[in-house]
Amino acid sequence: MIQKDVDLQPFNTMTIAARAKYFCAATTREELREALAFAREQQLPILPLGGGSNIVLTGDFPGLALHVGLQGLDFEPQSDGVRMRAAAGENWHQLVMRSVEMGHGGLENLALIPGNIGAAPIQNIGAYGVELKDTFEELTAMEVATGRLVTFTAEDCRFAYRDSVFKNTEKDRYIICEVVLKLSASWQPQVAYPALQQHFAQASQEVDALTPADVARAVIGIRNSKLPNPVEIPNAGSFFKNPVVDASLYSRLKEQNPQLVAFAAGEHWKLAAGWLIDQAGWRGFQKDGVGVHDRQALVLVNPGHRCGSQVVALAQDIALDIQQKFGVTLEPEPRFYP
Ligand code: FAD
Ligand code: NAP
């Protein structure tokens, strides 16, 4: 059912108050197809919504906000692992925990990422050295222009670091309906990230003996210790992407800042944006109800439930400061609407 003039505050984890001209919560593919037909007739832009944990509403949305609530989860055992078929509206973390409880490995490093499975391919979600693409098999999406169903293989999705075809050539052209993942029986724990290494070293746990549940527990514990729960402190996760810079800029920065946190990425270097923001003195900053989280400077917070323009103004101040202090350009990770 299409509703008019709906408040989107409950549908974004930044809790920004903004209104959608039209809103529809689609729970079946038929409802989704009808909503898309309505938007076509009315020539409305579409804002697909999952958990709203990677968007910033900069004002009222003059089109159709479409909550994709398709449900369904199916595990298909195979000789070399298990295939998981999940509808777009399934909650990501619950899906991870279901797989872990069943003893399947592959998703445990991605525990506690907010949002729904339908958005996971958009930026190829990743954490602690694991990305969606590592287990991804295919997805089914509905073409916005026609309502036709299309299958995308991993190759079609052109997954990259926090990136996919859905942020580039196919941006705004599809609504993801279902995702199929393949969890391999020959699972190995991925615990090379320093926080995980430290955790297991302190707990005197042998890496070879770890189960997917052990890794999921560790990831959940680490995340809870430094990242704000959006239900308590409104936020949209990492506000900026980690910038990837060339070797000459990296060398200059490393010389000037021996503590610089950076990781080789082919011929380039990935800088920890959170370290740069922290170093520039922004961690814990608060002004007029918006601020920077005190345990992870990459996360902007909105405890005052302020409007998108105030969040964006803070982000711009930070980006300008980082440009001036380090000569590094920061780009936002969440998508801004409208
Ligand atoms: P939304 O915010 O609702 O949507 C995100 C984008 O996808 C929007 O452009 C939206 O229009 C589009 N979209 C949503 N659903 C569909 C669909 N079915 N079809 C087509 N387009 C769609 N991300 C990581 O990668 N790694 C992390 O570790 C991580 N940690 C986070 C921690 C916190 C505390 C928070 C708040 C966020 C974090 N994120 C992380 C970001 C975010 O959780 C992910 O990007 C997540 O996949 C977004 O899911 P969502 O359902 O909330 O998407
Ligand atoms: P962290 O462990 O403090 O690490 C800081 C940064 O260093 C991260 O951004 C991470 O890059 C990078 N890093 C650390 N070890 C690395 C290694 N061995 N190789 C390559 N890069 C390495 O980070 P955190 O803030 O607590 O987050 C932990 C994980 O959760 C990270 O993977 C992060 O991406 C993810 N996360 C994402 C979001 C989001 O909204 N996108 C929010 C919270 C957490 P990467 O970010 O590339 O992994």
Atom of ligand 2 nearest to the CA of 222: 26
* CA angle (177, 181, 185) in 5-degree steps: 165
pLDDT of residue 265: 93
The 10s digit of each residue's pLDDT in 195-243 is 999 999 999 899 999 999 999 999 999 999 999 999 999 999 999 999 9
Say what the pLDDT of residue 51 is. 98
Q: Whose CA is nearest to atom 35 of ligand 2?
A: 127
Give CA–CA dist 115/91, Å, rounded: 6
Reported confidence tier of residue 2, pLDDT bands at 50, 70, 90: very high
Q: Which residue has the least CA distance to atom 14 on ligand 2?
A: 193
Give the CATH class of 235-337. Answer: alpha beta
Q: What pLDDT sits at residue 209?
A: 93
CATH fold group of domain 3-68: 3.30.43
Average pLDDT over residues 138-167: 97
d(CA 225, CA 182): 30
pLDDT at 114: 98
Domain boundaries, the chain: 3-68, 73-184, 235-337
Please give the distance of CA 188 from its chain centroid, rounded to a whole number.
Answer: 24
Report pLDDT for 35. Answer: 98
- Ligand with minimal distance to 296 CA: 2
Distance CA 338, CA 187 (A): 42
Torsion of CA 238, 241, 242, 245, to 10 degrees: -170
Four-way CATH pick for 73-184: 1.20.120.1200, 3.30.465.10, 3.30.565.10, 3.40.190.10? 3.30.465.10
Q: Which amino acids bring their CB within 6 angstroms of ligand 2? A: 126-128, 192-195, 226-227, 237-238, 242, 261, 263, 272, 274, 296, 298, 333
pLDDT at residue 232, as a whole number? 96
Amino acid identity for residue 122 in this structure: I
SS3 of residue 163 by DSSP: strand
Ligand 1 centre to CA of 127 (Å) is 13
SS3 14: coil
Residue nearest to atom 37 of ligand 1 (CA): 237
Distance CA 196, CA 190 (A): 9
| pTM given for the model | 0.97
Identify the pLDDT of residue 299: 98
Averaged pLDDT, 146-171: 97
Q: In Å, what is the CA distance from 133 to each residue of 118, 153, 181, 264?
A: 14, 10, 9, 20
Instruction: Measure the CA–CA gap between 95 and 248, rounded to whole angstroms.
Output: 42
CA 68 – ligand 2 centroid, Å: 28
